Chains A and B, each alone.
Chain A
């Protein structure tokens, strides 16, 4: 099929709208001058300054360990939740359970953040990295569960039943048959949970304490003061990493598909 002129125009304009701001951001991260509108020549000095700023390095470390631990917890819990929901186990409070799985997906972040903060305060928990992990694992597990559910729905259940008939225990059937089949969805769910955690500003700002500042929180407090070339440099690095990650992921899935 050939694209009509109208379609070409809407694709060009649409993608220009999506990508121009990011391109401008990256270009100005190499600007010698501190001002946005004045091009002072090519320079990588802002990258150098960024790597000397301990506050950013600390925040990057907090963000990374929070994302890693919370997405791992979320993947385990979310997979369990998906398994029970799709495999139709009957238990008391099933409706409540599925409601609690879907509700966080449409919940405004400010409400999730507020409610968790009130909980942590009334439990007397010290706020910091640990409470951010708890909060992130809670909303991410719902996303993981949706991703894994869609895979569980589409796979042939008789494979599991065959394993059980041949004498496998429930756990063996899950580990040797179900898990390998749903593994791509579990991995995708983990990746989604990891990114959601990296990206979150609102909930982390609510539940964090003075001891733990994540990268988005750090960026936000700088950005409120205006444009800074250092933030441009940091953004360019993050965008570069994400692009690389997406390209590698899509190449590996393509290779796995053609094999």
Chain B
């Protein structure tokens, strides 16, 4: 039975996950052409005689193009910067919340956790949309500021709006793993530290914080990785000068119809993301072998 069960998901993933990727790589090495589909050469599998010529026509021109045009470099860097800053902000807001949740009475914790998860179940798009009504120039925030007598802010269509949107949407991913690691912690460790004369602050840094590091790491990973390729938030809340690579990819593909360059952008993005993923996996393995 085990042998038969492997095949349906295996074949499904080969066809709908691996094969599409191979296609992206292939098109990234092709040239742009005004045709349908808009790239050349197109592989003719039925004609083995043409394979050699097709392979020779592949080159790294599109990657050279990504290097030469400053737009792409800036977009990659600004995606990484936005992802990094949002991750730090989410950690600064999420950690105190996770900490307070873990210190709350046992019977509250389930409810608090549900309250953190609930926004995650409702649509991402709607949660970002909610901020348009708040941040726009005639929005709710400026209305409230007007009552108090503070001059209006123009946050909408800036990087600040993008940070707010991203932190808001991804906060549950930061809170939950940190809460899980703090919740498991043995409270008697802290009592022991205080009995032995440790101040509360240093007990926090030396015990609580260190024990929650795996949760912090997991939370940062869950926020950072998807944010690098984020498309919806910069498109809705960001301005024309908010550059993120996910948006560049979509525009290259749909507006310029340049499939080869869009594919090359995707390939490079993937390679950039592989580095933190491998680092994270290494750290997780090291911890596992240390605790074993």
Interface residues of A (CB under 8 A from B): 1, 3-4, 6-8, 10-11, 14-15, 17-19, 21-22, 24-25, 28, 35-37, 76-78, 80-81, 83-84, 87, 89, 91, 93, 97, 100-101, 103-104, 106, 108-111, 114-116, 118-119, 121-122, 134-135, 137-138, 141, 145, 169-171, 174, 195, 198-199, 201-202, 216, 219-220, 223-224, 226-227, 231-232, 235, 238-239, 242-243, 245-246, 250
CB-CB under 8 A from B142, the residues of chain A are 37
Q: Is the CB of B9 within 8 A of A77?
A: yes
Q: Is the CB of B231 within 8 A of A118?
A: no
Q: Is the CB of A3 within 8 A of B123?
A: no
| A76 vs B9: C-alpha distance when bound (angstroms) | 9
Q: In the complex, how many residues of chain B place their beta carbon closer than 8 angstroms to a beta carbon of chain A? A: 80
Interface residues of B: mostly helix, strand, loop or mixed? helix
CB-CB under 8 A from B210, the residues of chain A are none
Provide the B113-145 mask, 1 if CB < 8 A to any CB of A, else 0. Answer: 011111101111111011111101011101100
Q: Is the CB of B18 within 8 A of A100?
A: yes
Given A80-B5, A116-B20, the answer on whether A97 and B13 have CB atoms closer than 8 Å is: yes
Q: What is the minimal beta-carbon distance from B80 to any residue of chain A, in angstroms?
A: 13
CB-CB under 8 A from A3, the residues of chain B are 100, 103-104
B10, B21, B116, B246: the one contacting A115 at CB < 8 Å is B21
- CB-CB nearest 4 A-B residue pairs: A108-B229, A170-B1, A115-B20, A7-B100
Q: What is the minimal beta-carbon distance from B54 to any residue of chain A, in angstroms?
A: 14
A21, A37, A108, A119: the one contacting B20 at CB < 8 Å is A119
Interface residues of B (CB under 8 A from A): 1-3, 5-6, 8-10, 12-14, 16-21, 23-24, 27, 37, 93-94, 96-97, 99-101, 103-105, 112, 114-119, 121-127, 129-134, 136, 138-140, 142-143, 168, 171, 225-226, 228-232, 235-236, 246, 249-250, 253, 259, 262-263, 266, 269-270, 273, 277
| A235 vs B112: C-alpha distance when bound (angstroms) | 23
| A169 vs B4: C-alpha distance when bound (angstroms) | 14
Q: Is the CB of A111 within 8 A of B24?
A: yes
In this complex, the member of A18, A89, A195, A232 whose beta carbon has the largest number of chain B beta carbons within 10 angstroms is A18
Q: What is the minimal beta-carbon distance from A186 to any residue of chain B, in angstroms?
A: 14
Closest to B235 in A: A224
CB-CB under 8 A from B10, the residues of chain A are 93, 97
CB-CB under 8 A from A171, the residues of chain B are 1
Q: What is the minimal beta-carbon distance from A114 to any residue of chain B, in angstroms?
A: 6
